[in-house]
Structure 1
């Protein structure tokens, strides 16, 4: 069993790589088997534990480089996590187009030459939904809700979903697009995602550092923990084509909460002194992006595959601390 992960040195890519190397996986409904080869493609090298694993091949470079794609070989499955995040895609249109569209197109065109069409899991985003000012306010997002992206990132992800669907229709890949919720709490430094503060207002105070929340404390947001997100990606990788069903994208389950409720959970778990390290400092640019995203989802399709949202934000913080 050989699997390619693009963005394999990132946060989710690293977690996924470690999970795949530690247990058997049945790609596309096949009998579970140990991963004998794992290709991690990213612009930076993988973590030392992964780089030192004899089953891992690290490919350092960009998807828009033909020389890089020429080195990846063929795999049974591809998990495409690489891309420019929301805030960066909004700040630099060309960078977003190169990474989120040109990179995906280059990957799909490389994969279509493989002898056997692989299962391909594409990480899309809740940002494909947005509050269109000309339409009624967003309600609960159902599995058949029409996407109305209101950011470059959301539009790029929606185009990516359609590309994966078309290549699947043509029999070139066995595509499964999953719409990820905002993942919290992410460790390490803040990234350029517009939603990065949702991890920062927990991560930084736990480290004794002040953090700013740039949106209304009572703005509802849709979240998922790293482990629940990983479960969704793995489930998409493992199910049969019949179990996956429609080639349209599937939203993963979401926990609906607010920054105020998140900080209250932080106070319950870490104490009021830690929670007091959060400052409420509005940033209209951030709120203009995150405020258009939906916060409530109904996901019976994901539920039919055994997926469920995180029970509470207390559980999210506990997972981070562990």
Structure 2
């Protein structure tokens, strides 16, 4: 990796995820290249989009959920990645998600059911129907806000809770999803907005069950929390690194992405948070006991399904992408207009 000067502004993400990036990527990259990493706190994709359109992108390097990246591509908000700094062996090893013209896969993870294991000792919720069943599995709930559309898996969870099989989820039945959400709404303490919130609501005994990302739950448990979870009906998702159009430090951004794509660095990242590495070579450097805990391990993988990002980015009613339709419908629903 060639030395450099100046800085690169990178999406942080916060919590245990941000800490893992700092240890595995930010600080070693600074030491190796001399380029200063400015870790910029997370913001939602709408605010990031607005910053690009205003000609002042909030980040040089941002992380976008796989379900949102295509809309940024389509709207000409991204810069093509210069792969000249990347090692070919690393590029070839990205699997099952490959690098794209505008995207470098960052993490593979699971949105699954998490619960208070001190509350449910012998009989714990093992399906989204169980999460919806507040009689059998008592307590308050939390799901991700529907304004995050595909990211939060809330619409899929609602349909699974209503008895839809994972193989028959798509295209999503919006009416059925909102009817299902109406049933759980009185028991929702909070529609969470950040990955760190979900496990914290369980730790603070504000809820007994809800949705969460596997890496956040594992990180909390490693700090002494006792959060139970199941891979059953989990939703495999992925995030991508992107360089925003108008980025002032684009060349440094490409160097940073090449550094984060290295197998050894991704293996180091996995030591601090259990999000699976998209570079399959990283598994050569991950201890077997750690590898078993990843959402792409063979046991976990067979109980889950991959979210259909193609559906989420396809045009629906009025020609808008389903991601946009979901947000509009969610806001109407919360306001009581749906």
TM-score normalized by structure 1?
0.33
- RCO higher in structure (CA 8 A, sep ≥6): 2
TM-score normalized by structure 2?
0.31
